[in-house]
């Protein structure tokens, strides 16, 4: 028979414990989520999209205001280090400089996903950590999206090919110049977040009630 652990304190039951004077404070609800209010997003924001990789890391900056999205800049960080540690340092320094220059309010990045090759997954995870931690000095709000969710938001199908993503990114942002695959992926991630901001705010507002 499964043993049920006894609560160690009144706080675990959502009840208040008396202080040294015997007074009992108002009970705190277990379901309180104070961070929900902080996630209600402002109508205007500068978004940094990141598509990390140990050899190539795509980046993109867009701005959103009351539903309108504008293109700022995009590109690819191509690492040249002979070791993984050197490449991670290059990614960190490049994204840190980018963050310092453009001061993004929010960062959108692909979430962690399973990879068939364990070594590739490890390198991708470390590149992702280097890119993301390089933005922390600006204290941005960080959001993660699954690859299929990004493709669905931009193209309309979660199984879209890279060429389709590039085409839709160009159309949505009116980009006429050259656009690499990594930069296009970073723009797609940023656009996915721009389209999802209203949903984040509605959910947060509902939780805060």
Neighbours of 188 (CB within 10 A): 30
Q: Which residues are marked as active site?
A: 51, 110, 182
Instruction: List the structure tokens of 120.
Output: 């590739």
Torsion of CA 175, 79, 189, 166, to 10 degrees: 40
The beta-strand segments (E) located in 66-172 are: 68-78, 106-110, 141-145
Pick the closest to residue 62 from 201, 192, 180, 199 (CA basis).
Answer: 192
For residues 1 and 28, what is the distance between their CA atoms, to the nearest angstrom?
32
Pick the closest to residue 95 from 150, 58, 122 (CA basis).
Answer: 58
For residues 113 and 176, what is the distance between their CA atoms, to the nearest angstrom?
32
């Amino acid at each position: 028979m499964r043993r049920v652990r006894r609560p160690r304190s009144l706080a675990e039951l959502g009840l208040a414990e008396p202080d040294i004077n015997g007074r009992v404070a108002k009970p705190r609800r277990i379901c309180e989520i104070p961070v929900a209010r902080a996630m209600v997003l402002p109508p205007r924001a500068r978004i940094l999209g990141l598509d990390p990789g140990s050899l190539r890391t795509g980046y993109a900056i867009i701005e959103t205001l009351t539903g309108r999205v504008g293109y700022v800049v995009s590109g690819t960080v191509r690492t040249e280090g002979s070791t993984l540690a050197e490449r991670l340092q290059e990614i960190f320094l490049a994204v840190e400089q980018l963050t310092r220059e453009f001061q993004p309010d929010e960062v959108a990045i692909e979430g962690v996903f399973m990879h068939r090759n364990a070594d590739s997954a490890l390198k991708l995870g470390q590149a992702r950590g280097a890119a993301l931690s390089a933005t922390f000095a600006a204290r941005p709000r960080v959001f993660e999206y699954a690859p299929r969710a990004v493709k669905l938001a931009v193209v309309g199908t979660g199984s879209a090919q890279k060429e389709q993503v590039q085409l839709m990114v160009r159309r949505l942002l009116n980009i006429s110049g050259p656009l690499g695959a990594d930069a296009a992926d970073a723009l797609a991630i940023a656009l996915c977040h721009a389209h999802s901001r209203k949903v984040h705010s509605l959910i947060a507002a509902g939780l805060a009630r």
